[in-house]
Structure 1
Amino acid sequence: MGLVKNIVRSRPVQEALGFLVAGYLGLVRRTNRFVIEPADAYDRIGPQMPVIAAMWHGQHFMIHYAKRPQDRAASLVSRSGDGEFNAVALRHLGVRAIRGSGARGRDIRKKGGARALRGLLRALTDGEMVVMTADIPKISRICGTGIVTLAQLSGRPIVPVAVVTSRRIDFKSWDSASIGLPFGRGAMVLGDPISVPREADAEHLETMRQQVERALDTVHERAYALIGSRDPGANTVRSNVANGTGNRATAGGATR
């Protein structure tokens, strides 16, 4: 089993997997009829670029659909083995990977969180939009402080984004991940930009964190409604709150 794992995680195999994933996602994008809400979203958000595009982790497969061809973009991707082929796929889709993740209960230096934050700040300063998940690592649909801290330090607004398709595979994973299937309908919903004041104290940051969390729930609920479906991750929110994890907002996440 160890040999198979090593082969799968070898550079040539990771490159091939990433290329195939990118090709498939491109097919899904081309064969689904997408509606964008609000219709003038890019006209309103364009002058505020570069922005921080926020998503729930389960949407990480398709979030790049919301990027316009002319937008330079970077995405936070974990250092895990799974993250490697995701980074390759993103490269083929025109998104630069910044490696690292939050460190809930772990050494932030080992996970690359501090270095990743610096990389994200440089990307925004250089005019690249940043795409990142808002969830606490392994705790779905609970927004961490990482994304609001990035907004505070960079001065760039957070834009909540949801990208969904009517035909899809919903995984029974911790993040209720979904991946679209070809030949269906799709919806992209962009929320109002959320700015975090540089002088915000801890209490204010918590208020902003909750605002981002609510905004992400709202855009996902609306996106699924537009395709006549229901958010498969909605139960995850209630489960997290019932289990008492709703107050454990300590860090931002990364695409695996």
Structure 2
Amino acid sequence: MLSSRRLARARWVQKTVGVIAAEYLRFVHLTSRTVTVPGDIYERAGADLPVIIAMWHGQHFMAPFIKKDGHKAKTLISRHRDGEMNAVAAEWLGVETIRGSGNHGGEFHQKGGVSAYFQMLNALSEGYNVALTADVPKVSRVVGPGIIRLARDSGRAIYPVALASSRRKVMDNWDRTTINLPFSLIAGVVGDPVRVTAKASESELEDARVTLEAALNAATERAYAIADRKAEDSPRG
């Protein structure tokens, strides 16, 4: 008999789960109302395209639906077993994937980080928006240095993005993984872009890291306030 662990590694199982997850997210999107703040963000960001999209771990499941028609997008997804299912879901929803993950100890090669880093640089140079979670694995809500270096080396701006739904299930794990539920009000909040110059010093890189962390926290707080109708500009009814 196959063990549950071996079964979960089977390609057909991963693909099936990934497709089901993607269609579930599509159902959430279709049955929910979405509010974007600022409302003209696509026009504002137009001159910066392609951009780096930063999100927190566990808060990113609805991200494929922020892609506009005509925009090319790739997302960084880990090589872990769960990452395989996430990759299937992302690709099913029209977002190409780059496989690899960061390492807060800096040993990028252990998880395919070097290859993934250069793939992200290449994608940006080819006009793809690149989305990734900014916090390093197992250290929630702390921005790692990798995304800041990506901005420095690519010359592209980082846009902090938060998505929150009024109906949700929050898991009791390290990144507070949030399962968005159907028939929600979904708030998408985008903070001011963070820019890093090619000649940024180590202290300037750290300043950018702290700035991005604060921007992501602020966007997340506002997204949840709007979704929960606690913000002054939350839609009524």
Q: TM-score range by the shorter chain?
A: over 0.9
Give the aligned partner of residue 200 of structure 1.
200
What TM-score do you get using the length of structure 2 for normalisation? 0.93
Greater RCO (Cα-Cα under 8 Å, separation 6 or more): 1
CA distance in 2, matches of 1:3, 1:212: 43
CA distance in 2, matches of 1:104, 1:134: 11
Amino acid at match of 2:88: V
CA distance in 1, matches of 2:13, 2:51: 33
> Is this contact kept in 2: 1:65–1:163, CA < 8 A?
no
Correspondences of 1:117-136 after superposition (within 5 Å): 117-136=117-136
Give the aligned partner of residue 94 of structure 1.
94
What TM-score do you get using the length of structure 1 for normalisation? 0.87
Amino acid at match of 2:80: S
Aligned identity (percent) is 46
Q: Tell me the CA shift for residue 58 of structure 1.
A: 1.7
Give the aligned partner of residue 241 of structure 1.
none
CA distance in 2, matches of 1:163, 1:106: 28
Name stretches of at least 5 consecutive residues in structure 1 with no aligned partner: 231-256
CA distance in 1, matches of 2:214, 2:145: 14
CA distance in 1, matches of 2:177, 2:212: 20
CA distance in 1, matches of 2:29, 2:49: 23
Q: Tell me the CA shift for residue 179 of structure 1.
A: 1.6
Cα 1:2–1:149 change in 2 (3 A) is farther
CA distance in 1, matches of 2:3, 2:46: 48
Classify the secondary structure of the residue corresponding to 1:30. Answer: helix
CA distance in 1, matches of 2:137, 2:8: 24
Q: Which deviates further from its counterpart, 204-213 or 173-182? A: 173-182
Q: Tell me the CA shift for residue 229 of structure 1.
A: 6.4
Give the aligned partner of residue 245 of structure 1.
none
Amino acid at match of 2:140: S
CA distance in 1, matches of 2:228, 2:103: 37
CA distance in 1, matches of 2:152, 2:90: 26
- The superposition leaves residues 26-53 of structure 1 with CA deviations (integer Å, 9 ceiling, x where unpaired) of 0111111111111111110122111000
Q: Which deviates further from its counterpart, 60-69 or 153-162? A: 60-69
- Any runs of at least 4 consecutive aligned residues in structure 1 with deviations exceeding 4 A, and if so which? none
Q: Tell me the CA shift for residue 107 of structure 1.
A: 4.1
Give the aligned partner of residue 225 of structure 1.
225
Give the aligned partner of residue 213 of structure 2.
213
Give the aligned partner of residue 158 of structure 2.
158
Cα 1:211–1:83 change in 2 (3 A) is same
Correspondences of 1:64-75 after superposition (within 5 Å): 64-75=64-75
Q: Which deviates further from its counterpart, 67-76 or 12-21? A: 67-76
- The superposition leaves residues 140-196 of structure 1 with CA deviations (integer Å, 9 ceiling, x where unpaired) of 000011001000000000000011100011111100111211112110011111110
2:50 corresponds to 1:27: no
Name stretches of at least 5 consecutive residues in structure 2 with no aligned partner: 231-237
Q: Which deviates further from its counterpart, 103-112 or 43-52? A: 103-112
> Is this contact kept in 1: 2:60–2:163, CA < 8 A?
no
Aligned length: 230
